[in-house]
Structure 1
Amino acid sequence: MTTPSPSLPRDIATLLRPALSGLTATVTSEVRRGVPTFADEGYTGAVSDAAERAIRHFLDRIDDPSTETEPFVKYFHDLGVRDLHTERPIIEPLRAAYRLGARAAWRHAARLVHDSGVASSTLCQLGEAVFAYMDELSSLSFAGHTQSQVRHADSIERHRKELLAILVSAEHPVPATTIARLAQAARWQVPRRIAAIAIEPRSDTVAPPAHAFGNRVLADVNTASPFLLVGEDDLVVLNELTAAVPGTRAAIGPPVALRHAGESLRWARHTLRLVQCGILPNVEVTWFDRQLSTLWMLDDPMVVAEMVERALAPLNGINSRQRTKLSDTLLLALETGRDIGRMADVLGVHAQTVRYRLRQLDKLFGRQLAERETRFAIELALRAERTLRPVG
């Protein structure tokens, strides 16, 4: 801290020191009257103590510029960290108190100094020193407040990461008390059901910060596979995601109980991979529960490939373009019971073309199309093959 004013005579401190109690009372009264936060009777002692410390230190520095400042600095630095009674930050009321206190102290001191016949120039210097001193006190407390906020934010973020890791990776059920404790420390309201959102990492855009969605979302966005955990009722956050990072693709896993959050994340990531490789439509947001049949069908690619190979073996050897036409015709025939008119409308071809393709299929598959169980296997295989067909 700086000296109040190098040119202030030491006589000023000698003159004002006997008035210390009166100055303290004046400042305390003005602060409690003008700042509602400190009007409560419980603050009387704290406000009076701070005022007395500040005035005494101000006078000590006029009297002896080498006065030790470390304990004093710490005291006013810590005032900005928390409310002495409720542990809540009070930086704005505190700064208001400094301003009011400085004005009250200056008015009281100015009367005493003026009545003692001190020169007007010295009186002006004293005024400048008082308000410069007030700025120093305010800066000390604001520095304490800022550091406290940073530590508090870091602590919350650590608890959110710990909670996130537990929810998605726990192999065994985590006690509800543990979840509740971490959620409270992380400032996260525990939802009844939760859904994971897998986000496509983008090299050409900046990922949204973890705090971008507020306390309702747990986020890990700075990894190779970024994701969010969102309460089922808060999935509107997707609108904020797509607005914050246009063009980002995301997939939403199924809403589940908290203990199954890892499963929701697994399905969200699986769904996103299917979008990325062209099996599912290329849209910004893909919902797991709207792709259930596709996801079920592709849950085991090896089994699907074997089923397609066996059930659709008669189509082997046909060029890909012709195979696509015959496959689409056969699937539609199985779905409509060979309704020629409907098939022609859906396929956009003449009825004769439909009949021609059906004769080709009957020749290729023979009696297989007459057997119910075989028809079912062929239909599943056709649907799987269509699903695996890249989206155009």
Structure 2
Amino acid sequence: MTAEASLPARSSDSELGPWSDIPGELAEHIRPHLDEVAEEIISEIQLRVREYSRGEGPYASMLRLVVERALQHFVDRIAGNGFDDEEFFVSIGRGEAGEGRSLDPLQSAMRVGSLVAWRRLSANAFDLDPRIIASLGEAVFLHQDEIAKAAGEGYSQAKAAVAGEMQRRRRRLLDLLLTEPTPGQEAIADLAAAAHWQMPKTVAAVALDIRHQDTRPPAFPPDVLVDLSRTLPSLIIPDPDGPGRAALVDRALADCAGVIGPTVPVTEAARSMHLARQMLQLAGRGVIEADGVIRCVDHMSTLIMFQDENLLDSLADLRLAPLSHLRNSQQDRLAETLLAWLQSGRNANEVAMRLHVHPQTVRYRLRQLEELFGDQLLDPDLRFDLEIVLRARRLQQGSAVTTTGEHRAVSGEVITLRRI
């Protein structure tokens, strides 16, 4: 592969870069040697890049195609043609992504090929002007960069398309899991396989409220099904009780309001979401107060109480009827005392400590309650009803208070009471 020193260089053109300093006639001196150079490049690549070392299979067939096309295109560039074969190398990148292969071996092969090509050119270009030799070297590696860039673009396009399709499949899977009536195990398994989601034995649904979130959307582990575009943003967490899962979810939800439903079999994800949404509504009303993530399992008794609030109100009207004729302030004091009495094993001294009042005050209020409720306080079933409605009343009052700022600890829970 030799050239005469008398070959004229083309006029300089800054947009052409090094190509403008390389004589176009040089292309005809190189073309006869392309097959020989291609074989040398392929041999060197198979020696130095492990993925191509076997000389067979998908890597090898693609390698020969790319090397021969790249060499032909390089010579065409010298002859004065532009880089008009970009789509070919873009398609090579797409193909590598489509086959699930990394682009690294191809990029490594391109670098080896450029080194071999430059070695052959420089060894036979001693008759050329030094400026032309320098431009040839620059052109070799510029051409490599152009091919690598085109392949990278195709690879990124294919990866983005695959990721987008996979995201759509996962959203459809999440929709299916949250469908009522509950879908069958087989239907879930088929869509899970299409979405590359390993179907777990158990899941927990998460209802999110990120309407007022100023920060970027939370990031979740790849096995969590996510759809933040729904009216109520939703998640499905696989194996939520596995090692380290709770802490991981807490970190992901640190900057947004969220409720984690109970752990259920995968076919009952909709039930977990139903309870999570109910709990989120109660939290929004202030019935439940919690820092960070709320877990349904920590508030199941509250969920039970508020499943049917009309029924709860009817029970309260029935059981608290003895207080109905009193002023609101009297009702509050006696209701608070009665609940503390029921929760403390009917011990007046403990009630006094709970309410931070004098024991004599408690005894006075208890005598009032005995006069109002009579034998109802001796019936275990009625006492159970009373505790239910008094707990609910306390939670409802706490949710209605927004300005007092007074907090009092009762039965291990922090609640907000109206000033009376």
TM-score > 0.5 by shorter chain: yes
| Alpha-carbon distance, 1:7 to partner | 4.1
**Letter in structure 1 aligned against 2:48:** G
Q: Where does residue 87 of structure 2 map in the other structure?
A: 74
Q: Where does residue 285 of structure 2 map in the other structure?
A: 277
| Alpha-carbon distance, 1:204 to partner | 4.3
SS in 1 for 2:206: strand
| Among 174, 179, 185, the residue aligned to 1:169 | 179
Q: Where does residue 225 of structure 1 map in the other structure?
A: 232
Q: Aligned residues: percent identity?
A: 33
Q: How does 1:203-282 map to 2 (within 5 A)?
A: 203-208=212-217, 212-231=219-238, 232=240, 233=242, 234-243=245-254, 245=255, 248-282=256-290
**Letter in structure 2 aligned against 1:312:** L
| Alpha-carbon distance, 1:329 to partner | 2.2
Q: Where does residue 98 of structure 1 map in the other structure?
A: 110
SS in 2 for 1:251: strand
Q: Where does residue 53 of structure 1 map in the other structure?
A: 69
| Alpha-carbon distance, 1:20 to partner | 1.2
Q: Where does residue 158 of structure 1 map in the other structure?
A: 168
Q: Where does residue 409 of structure 2 map in the other structure?
A: none
Give me the whole-angstrom Cα distance separating, in 2, the residues matched to 1:45 and 1:150.
26
Give me the whole-angstrom Cα distance separating, in 2, the residues matched to 1:100 and 1:29.
10
Q: Deviations over 1:100-141 (max 9, x none)?
A: 211110111222333xx3333322222222222112111111
Give me the whole-angstrom Cα distance separating, in 2, the residues matched to 1:295 and 1:193.
21
Q: Deviations over 1:120-179 (max 9, x none)?
A: 332222222222211211111111111112111111111111111111124242342x43
Give aligned pairs, total.
380
Q: Does 1:303 align with 2:311?
A: yes
Give me the whole-angstrom Cα distance separating, in 2, the residues matched to 1:310 and 1:16.
101
| Alpha-carbon distance, 1:265 to partner | 0.8
Give me the whole-angstrom Cα distance separating, in 2, the residues matched to 1:325 and 1:5.
93
Change (3 A) 1:25 1:181: same
Q: Does 1:191 align with 2:191?
A: no
Q: Deviations over 1:310-346 (max 9, x none)?
A: 1101111323332222112223434455433333333
**Letter in structure 2 aligned against 1:143:** E
Note if contact 1:3-1:61 (Cα within 8 Å) is conserved in structure 2. no
Q: How does 1:9-48 map to 2 (within 5 A)?
A: 9-42=23-56, 43-48=59-64
| Alpha-carbon distance, 1:274 to partner | 1.0
Note if contact 1:249-1:283 (Cα within 8 Å) is conserved in structure 2. no
Q: Does 1:329 align with 2:337?
A: yes
Q: Which has the higher helix share?
A: 1
TM-score, length basis structure 1: 0.88
Q: Where does residue 294 of structure 1 map in the other structure?
A: 302
Change (3 A) 1:40 1:179: farther
Note if contact 1:4-1:62 (Cα within 8 Å) is conserved in structure 2. no
Structure 2 unaligned spans of 5+: 1-14, 399-414
Change (3 A) 1:109 1:352: same
Change (3 A) 1:201 1:118: closer
| Among 354, 357, 360, the residue aligned to 1:349 | 357
Structure 1 unaligned spans of 5+: none
Give me the whole-angstrom Cα distance separating, in 1, the residues matched to 2:114 and 2:345.
92
Note if contact 1:213-1:240 (Cα within 8 Å) is conserved in structure 2. no
| Alpha-carbon distance, 1:229 to partner | 0.9
Moved more, 139-148 or 31-40: 31-40
Give me the whole-angstrom Cα distance separating, in 2, the residues matched to 1:24 and 1:127.
18
| Among 389, 392, 396, the residue aligned to 1:384 | 392
TM-score, length basis structure 2: 0.83
Change (3 A) 1:235 1:333: closer
Change (3 A) 1:19 1:144: same
Q: Does 1:142 align with 2:133?
A: no
Give me the whole-angstrom Cα distance separating, in 1, the residues matched to 2:89 and 2:277.
51
Q: Where does residue 189 of structure 2 map in the other structure?
A: 180
Change (3 A) 1:28 1:226: same
Moved more, 295-304 or 2-11: 2-11
Give me the whole-angstrom Cα distance separating, in 2, the residues matched to 1:334 and 1:14.
102
Note if contact 2:34-2:72 (Cα within 8 Å) is conserved in structure 1. yes
Note if contact 1:4-1:130 (Cα within 8 Å) is conserved in structure 2. no
Q: Where does residue 5 of structure 2 map in the other structure?
A: none
Q: How well do the aligned residues superpose, as a CA RMSD in angstroms?
A: 2.5
Change (3 A) 1:371 1:226: same
